[in-house]
Structure 1
Amino acid sequence: MLARLLLLAAPLSVLALPSRPAAAKRTHERRSVLPHQWEEHADPHPDMRVPLRIALSQSNLDIAYDELLRVSDPESPDFASHWTAKQVAEFFAPSKDTLDTVVSWLEQEGIDPSRVKQTQSLGWLEVSNLTVTEAETLLDTKYKIYKHASGAPHLGCGSYSVPEHVSKHIDFITPTVHFDSRVNSPRQEKRKKRDVEPGIAKTIGQPWVGTTPKEGATVSAASIITELEECGSQITPICLQALYKMPFDVQFATSKNSYGIVEYTPQSYLPTDLDMFFEQFLPQASGKRPTMDSIDGGNIQTEYEGFGYNGESDLDLQYAMSLVWPLTPTLYQAGDMVEGASFNNFLDAIDGTYCTYDGGDDPTQDGVYPDPYGGGYEGPETCGGYAATNVISTSYAYNEADLTPFYETRQCNEYLKLGLQGVSILYSSGDYGVAGNDGECLNADGTYSYDGIRFNPSFPGTCPYMTSVGATQVKPNGTVFEAEEASETVIYSGGGFSNVFAMPSYQSSAVKYYFENYLPPYTSAQYNNSQTTRGFPDVSANGANYVVAIDGEFELVYGTSCSSPTFGSVITLVNDARLAVGKNPVGFLNPTLYANPWMFNDITVGGNQGCGTAGFTSVPGWDPVTGLGTPDYTLLVAKYLTLP
């Protein structure tokens, strides 16, 4: 891959740039430190082609949040009056002034208009056949080849500049300062050993990186609990149904309802594990499978087995399918065994315009399809074609520090657009308390360290347009008839405050109350204590001691990977009740949840230690450990049925 990157195609002659007065430029984006596990490797060839893509500033983003509230605020007469995809695309399309300004700047820099193409979605400009020398002159920067610890290369720079009058019309430019951490999948390792150039794999697609479940003890079928009084040692579907007062199989609108679970190859479920679980807990579901939406060659791979390959998918599907029975959830299986997949690849599949306006085709960020090196999925990239389900749960996450604010903001805006269309987006909040994935924290300069003292919040959990789900547990020796506590068994509920996103209005009073009454004993050296940024998680659900069938055995599993699909199941059942009486799905959840905290079981015991501290503490009301608390289905459905 590195050789391919250095010698891409035949060298192009550098176009002579006309002499002209230089426009004053200002820094548009900068990285002070390299992302975790990346290092500078080499200088690129001056004539190497740069796939330059310019993300144009979208229209109406200044009022987009107000529009989201209009269809999500429980006091709004337009609650649940969701938009169509066409309405969303037209509302956010860049203005003519933005397009003209950026194209004019490129022409002034000596780039012929014939080399500039606006994407079909209107949100990007692509500049063809640009060399490194041209790109460096255009952006007043110096490109380098960077290399990840896995061996994957990346073309980028430390900062770049554009004229001040152009800056407000551009969100960001790639490839520049944006990196995604990535590791090789098993097949990529085989390729590497055979001296075959590997494709670009993604952290998201690898089950051993990020917010994934943690393995516990193996239990025999004979020892699995059957009494609710024993849920403190094992969690089964009936424990969750009792904890959150969920109905068992009484549903009225399954034909209208939908629930999506997102997985990333090589993570996949084993059909025999589903049957083993259902035979134990839901015999009538034996032989049932989720509806499969294959994204970019996503498949139920059986070449590799083990907890790391089957644990997440087995967990998510066994519990989601059990809790919303007889509804059949949709499985969004993203990426093949070679290229992998990213959040962007998934978003491409449910929003065809996203392929071209937010990095879906950027080889430095996402899986590239058809596989340019052979051996992987060679069909076309999945752009649209799959409907977004009413509720979508994802149990993977980056650290906020892995990506740049511009990149995160633009992806976060896509969750806003899905909310406008009536989709409830859920993400796990993390399993390492206030630390990031794998327990790593931040040093003062932003670098990663297990000894760092600065908290490391997750993304997309800090995006204000989706619902972040933390983890609780039944108290040791307790029962489902008692209050839970924050998870402190094997994992600690991820939570804290963003370093990127401002506090949304829907949570301002809850967070204000928290700081006024339970001010944490930390300074700005540990976390963003400005009291003006997004707090997470929003809610929680049980995340400890789940009994899951994995590779032919029952095992105990832990993590917010358990919490998110469980909470998503509760909301799916609420949607069922609304659809049955002719109402729309609930859509973006947070404004209604924060306005009605009485719908939750408040969690007031436990913390989320990390980064050499005790972390935050669960207290009455919202807190950055368990959010508003755990759901009470009966209260949620009663409230949502009163709304338009």
Structure 2
Amino acid sequence: MRPTILFLTLIAPSKATLSPSTDSIIKHSWGDIPRGWTYHSTPPPDDTFELRIGLKQARIDELIDRLLEISDPNHSSYGKHLSQEESEALASCQPKALDETKEWLAYHGIDDSRVNHHQAGGDWLSLQVSIAEAERILSTQYHLFRHDASGETSLRTLQYSLPHHLHSHIDMVAPTTYFSTLRTMRKTSFLQPDIEPVDEVESLIDPIISSAASVIPLGCSYAITPSCLRALYNTTDYVPTAMSQNRLGVAGYLDQYANDADLQTFLKKFRKDAAGATYPTVQIHGGGNDQSIPGIEANLDIQYTIGMSYPTPNIYYSTGGSPPFIQDSTTTTNTNEPYLDWVTYILNQTTIPQVITTSYGDDEQTVPLEYAVRVCNSFAQIGARGTTLLFSSGDFGVGGGDCKTNDGTNQVLFQPSFPASCPWVTTVGGTTKVNPEVGVNFSGGGFSRYFDQPDYQANAVSGYLGGLGTKYAGKFNPGGRAYPDVSAQANRFQVVVGGHTMSVGGTSASSPTVAGIFALLNDYRLSLGLGPLGFVNPLLYSLGRNGSEFSGFNDIVSGSNPGCGTDGFAAARGWDPITGAGTPSFKRLQALVSK
């Protein structure tokens, strides 16, 4: 509900007489304490914390236009990626926004020397404040709220206000009304204890011939290893040569640590020629690297990016912290990851890996809209600098839990996943079986309610929607960004954790697999003197032929992703919201990206 402004004067005061305390209006508020939370206590007024203020990005539409131009293979600017300085200029705020926000802070006694200005990922101001100062600045009251399920407490407020003239300058302030805990986030992978892990690799060596005439190790119908994936997607014979120019990054969050010893055990078992390969761990915003606590998710990611891309250099990012969160029935504790801290670090670097994979996600509705849009815009900035960002599509089909909306109406709707729903990333769904591959039943897919459908995918998506007809009408937004874009195997992955092999499933496995393939495609382009692929979606969708199969991809035509009490979407010829364009065929894609 838009707040009514009953206390503004009819004539706006001049800048010289403006009183930021008297012209403030509510920026965001809750009618009551969000469900699942209870009041715990009121903190001492002299307690301190970091307050972050995100300023609106004045030229973000121009940045996105540039991203689409340099990513369109038919445009004269194709491949002309932006420098760090160029992208920062397009993501910046108006000088007036910065000046007037600082004036507002100064009015409340915050000296400019206390304010840190960060420009990566757009303009952010951060400052250490006391509870009393924050309450005065934001015309609010802070309290500690207890999360009933976890017992954890968070410092939040039920509403906050900004001066009227700053509403057009400030996107968001945090922490304020977005409730969160520090619980481990949702990872898009899961253990499969009913599947016996493979301790010996002989069964994964004897070949059979698949229907596509590819030599696939016999055991791949039972367990997936790098040998299976390299055979399925035709990378086995490719030898990288551009190692000095090419890098592959893995983003990890909230106490998920990739284990060095487990990687060596994995490589000796499943990719002997890569034994001894290492990777650096970059720790961001308090991210750890405790080698005594190997993470299933982190190990899965790094073992399969290296397993697919060796000898391409890999890098693991360990990011700490916890971002804003809105609870729903599936995500009952804070499982959002701190994208802003990670993306700010990445955009501060002079060079960025040409491919980065992330295997985490949440229901879109649990992420505040302003937060989601701001993060998505930052992903566009990374893509404009020449990086392919890959995200797993999620493991709940069209939605998990009761699929009720958390806006008070309790409608049962399909629940899209974020960041999978961001138009400026490449989202990876899941398949299973090998002869032929089929869409795996947990593969996340659907249509965003936050982001409009981008032009680059409109033709492909319209073909699917035409075949769907009125089925599920009202359950999803047919005009929303559709995902996934591509897919890969997501079942029975062999992962070494704590020295032991176990079976793991999830689109967490699909995303690093595709990341390794795109890293090899970049290697090939770099060896030819060409630049990296960068944001690949416009190129990818241009490979579709009149709503049918996509050049360079294996079309997946069977499988579905049930959820929300329905059978979900079904795979079909061409693009579909369970497997996207299909699974990659490296050799065919190699020919398509050589110019």
TM over 0.5: yes
Contact 1:602 1:628 in 2 (8 A): yes
Q: Name the SS for the 1:221 alignment partner.
A: coil
C-alpha distance in 1, partners of 2:592/2:269? 34
**CA distance, structure 2, for counterparts of residue 21 and residue 94 of structure 1:** 20
Cα distance between partner residues in 1 of 2:105 and 2:257: 45
CA contact (8 A) 1:210 1:397 kept: yes
Who is 1:117 aligned against? 115
Task: Give the deviation of 1:181 after TM superposition.
Answer: 4.1
Q: Distance in 1 between matches of 2:558 and 2:592?
A: 27
Name the structure 2 match of 1:102.
Answer: 101
Determine the structure 1 residue equivalent to 2:575.
Answer: 622
Q: Residue 78 of structure 1: CA displacement?
A: 1.3
Q: Is the 8 A contact 1:249 1:324 kept in 2?
A: no
Question: 2:326 maps to what in 1?
Answer: none
Q: Distance in 2 between matches of 1:31 and 1:175?
A: 14
CA distance in 2, matches of 1:419, 1:36: 37
Quote the residue 1:575 is aligned against: 522
Match of 1:637 in 2: 590
Task: Give the whole-Å Cα distance in 2 for the aligned partners of 1:127 and 1:278.
Answer: 45
**Contact between 2:203 and 2:219, CA under 8 Å: does it hold in 1?**
no
String of CA shifts for 1:42-68, please: whole Å, max 9, x gaps.
344566556443211122012221011
Using the aligned pairs only, state the percent identity. Answer: 34
> Contact 2:60–2:90 (CA<8 Å) still a contact in 1?
no
| Partner residue in 2 for 1:378 | none
How many residue pairs were aligned? 545
C-alpha distance in 1 between matches for 2:416 and 2:31: 18
Is 1:312 matched with 2:297?
yes
Structure 2 letter corresponding to 1:459: F
- Choose 69-78 or 562-571, whichever is displaced more: 69-78
Residue of 239, 250, 274 corresponding to 2:239:
250
- 3-state SS, counterpart of residue 588 of structure 1: coil
SS at match of 2:204: coil
Q: Is the 8 A contact 1:179 1:402 kept in 2?
A: no
- The 5 Å alignment of 1:47-62 reads 51-62=50-61
SS at match of 1:614: strand
Cα deviations by residue, 1:493-551 (Å, 9 ceiling, x for unpaired):
01112221222221222222222221362243x33x2x221122111111112223333
Shift of 1:636: 1.8
**1:348 to 1:617, Cα distance in 2 relative to 1, 3 A:** same
| Amino acid in the other structure paired with 1:442 | C
Counterpart of 1:225? Answer: 204
Q: Is the 8 A contact 1:441 1:448 kept in 2?
A: no
Q: Contact conserved, 2:187 with 2:297, CA < 8 A, in 1?
A: no
Paired with 1:50 and 1:298, the residues of 2 have a C-alpha distance of: 19
Alignment of structure 1 residues 443-522 onto 2, 5 Å: 443-446=404-407, 453-474=412-433, 480=434, 482-488=435-441, 492-519=442-469, 521-522=471-472
CA distance in 1, matches of 2:306, 2:128: 47
The answer to whether the 8 Å contact 1:441/1:455 transfers is: no
The answer to whether structure 1 residue 292 and structure 2 residue 278 are counterparts is: no
User: Deviation string for 1:571-616 (max 9, x for gaps)?
Assistant: 0111011000111110011111111132222222111111222122
SS in 2 for 1:408: helix
How far apart, in 2, do the equivalents of 1:80 and 1:423 lie? 11
How is 1:311-350 mapped onto 2 (pairs within 5 angstroms)?
311-335=296-320, 342-350=338-346
Deviations 1:199-240 (A, max 9, x none): xxxx34xxxx33233334233434743232442222222221
Residues of 1 paired with 2:32 and 2:355: CA distance?
37
1:420 has 2:420 as partner: no
Q: Aligned residue for 1:189? A: none
* Distance in 2 between residues matched to 1:235 and 1:243, nearest whole Å: 10
Residues 80-111 of structure 1: CA deviation (Å, up to 9, x unaligned): 1111112222232211222234345556x655
Unaligned runs of 5+ in 2: 1-16, 208-215, 322-334, 545-549
1:461 positional shift = 1.0
Q: Is 2:366 aligned against 1:402?
A: yes
**Alignment partner, residue 442 of structure 1:** 403
Matched with 1:3 is: none
TM-score, structure 1 normalization: 0.77
1:298 & 1:20 partners in 2: Cα distance? 41
Amino acid at match of 1:63: E
Q: Say if 1:116 and 1:564 are closer, same or farther in 2 by CA, change over 3 A.
A: same
Give the corresponding residue for 1:70: 69
C-alpha spacing 1:53/1:270, structure 2 compared with 1 (3 Å): closer
> How many Å apart are 1:426 and its aligned residue?
0.8
2:171 corresponding residue in structure 1 = 171
Question: Would you say 1:303 and 2:292 are equivalent positions?
Answer: yes
- How far apart, CA to CA, are the structure 2 residues paired with 1:310 and 1:173? 32
TM-score between the two structures when normalised by the length of structure 2: 0.83
Q: Which residue of 2 aligns with 1:199?
A: none
Distance 2:134 2:307 in 1: 54
**Cα 1:33–1:120, aligned 2, differ >3 Å: closer, same or farther?**
same
CA contact (8 A) 2:20 2:163 kept: no
Q: Tell me the C-alpha RMSD between the 2 structures.
A: 3.2
AA of the residue aligned to 2:279? P
Structure 1: stretches of 5+ with no match in the other structure: 1-17, 184-202, 353-383, 475-479
Q: Residue type of the partner of 1:346? A: W
What is the SS of the residue equivalent to 2:165? helix
Aligned 8 A contact 2:204 2:227 in 1:
no
Alignment partners' CA distance in 1, 2:140 and 2:463: 46
2:59 and 2:20 map into 1 onto residues whose CA distance is 33
Q: Does structure 1 residue 611 correspond to structure 2 residue 564?
A: yes
